[in-house]
Amino acid sequence: MSDIPLGVLDLVPVSSGSTVAEALRNSIDLARRAEQLGYSRYWFAEHHLNPGVAGTSPAVVLALTASATSTIRLGSGAVQLGHRTALSTVEEFGLIDALHPGRLDLGLGRSGGRPPGGPVEPLPDATPVVDGRAPNGLLIPPKFSFAHLLGSPRVALQLKLLKQPNAESQEYGEQIDDILALLAGTYRSADGIEAHVVPGEGADVQVWILGSSGGESAEVAGRGGLRFAANYHVSPGTVLEAVEAYRAAFQPSDVLDKPYVSVSADVVVAEDDERARELAAGYGPWVRSIRTAEGAIPFPTPDEARAHVWTEVDRALVQDRVDTQFVGTPSRVAGQLEQLGEATGADELLITTITHDHADRVRSYELLAEEWRRR
């Protein structure tokens, strides 16, 4: 299993008592260390109105990190297309590729865009989940409903601030097609006018589609013959349907002749299980802050986390995420990652780790890399 590459997904977390500047410096330092440790990719997520997350613009953070590294692939996990245009996306990544050619992954997400047309139909040959477990024992918790977020005033405010007044998002699949055409230099408008993006056209970037379910994103990635990244760490209850829908929709392309999947996982590794659990203590309150739409809080210390007063509603909000975070010794966590890779058929695994102290975060990635090489 160790021949499956490990990558890093970084939200640029801000710890309690620290600053955004410290968070950015920590992420750039971690990218350097990940490069030295042999991680294959380093991706930055996009989040807005979250005091505990500084990754508001993947392209900006990528540009800073590209100048501090030399070989590791860098990417977005993901650029959220609901409030962007195809042209602005290609131009941003074209600028970075001009100075750092051949190292960029353009990960694209649908969040904030036009809602898909209808409900997801279950696949007839879907992997059976019995008593919350995949056939190999991987925990697949009940699907979490994000319906309460759709009506949140805070989410509505975020969309209002991100979009131009009265702007309507482009249909997602159409927008992906436009991005691919602009990159390839084949774009034509409806009335036949060509558009050539400089910089951007001909940029040597890998295009990925990110998705949390078996819906539109998985289908767009499959039909387009593109790489697909599924999010066990965001929506563990739907990871199997996501990868299966992608593979079912897959059509060979100039990019790929067969499906290619990366799967993400939340991980905290330490020398012993007790220490790892201590480092992961802040994860529950942090996830709660996101799922209540309050916005991610600065990542708490273990003591601050233990002071949180939990309600049953709170616990229900975070249970699937807490239960599927891989926490423990290098051997324990590597074994869980192997299980995740086997259950999903992943070609790569993407690791996201958040601890309050930067040194503990770096050490977690070090211990995991050392164990993964031994397997």
Phi, psi at residue 371, to the nearest 5°?
Answer: -70, -40
For residue 226, pLDDT beyond 70: yes
The average pLDDT across 329-351 equals 98
CB 77 within 8 A of CB 44: yes
pLDDT band of 115, cuts 50, 70, 90: very low
Beta-bridge mates of residue 235:
none
For residue 210, pLDDT beyond 50: yes
Listed range (126-130, 170-174, 365-369) with the worst mean pLDDT: 126-130
In a domain, 95, yes or no: yes
The average pLDDT across 178-198 equals 97
Rg (CA), the chain: 20
- Please give the pLDDT value at position 169: 87
Alpha-carbon gap, residue 93 to 87, rounded angstroms: 10
- Please give the pLDDT value at position 55: 94
pLDDT band of 3, cuts 50, 70, 90: confident
The average pLDDT across 155-175 equals 91
Angle in degrees, 0-180, between the axes of helices 239-249 and 330-344, rounded to the nearest 10 = 40
- Please give the pLDDT value at position 337: 98
The average pLDDT across 70-83 equals 96
- Please give the pLDDT value at position 57: 96
Alpha-carbon gap, residue 226 to 251, rounded angstroms: 9
In a domain, 228, yes or no: yes
Q: How many domains does the chain have?
A: 1
In a domain, 326, yes or no: yes
- Please give the pLDDT value at position 117: 45
For residue 28, pLDDT beyond 70: yes
Strands (E), the chain: 6-10, 41-44, 73-76, 79-80, 104-109, 205-211, 227-231, 261-269, 326-328, 348-352
In a domain, 127, yes or no: yes
CATH for 331: 3.20.20.30
In one-letter notation, the amino acid at residue 333 is: V
Q: What is the pLDDT of residues 117-132, one digit of tens each?
A: 444 555 656 798 999 9
Looking up tokens 């159409």 gives: 174
The average pLDDT across 302-317 equals 96
In a domain, 39, yes or no: yes
Local structure of residue 120 (DSSP, 8 states): P
Host domain of residue 359: 6-374
One-character DSSP codes across 124-146: TTPPP-BTTB-TT--B-PPPPP-
In a domain, 248, yes or no: yes
The average pLDDT across 343-353 equals 98
For residue 114, pLDDT beyond 50: no
In a domain, 1, yes or no: no
pLDDT band of 150, cuts 50, 70, 90: confident
Average per-residue pLDDT in the chain?
94
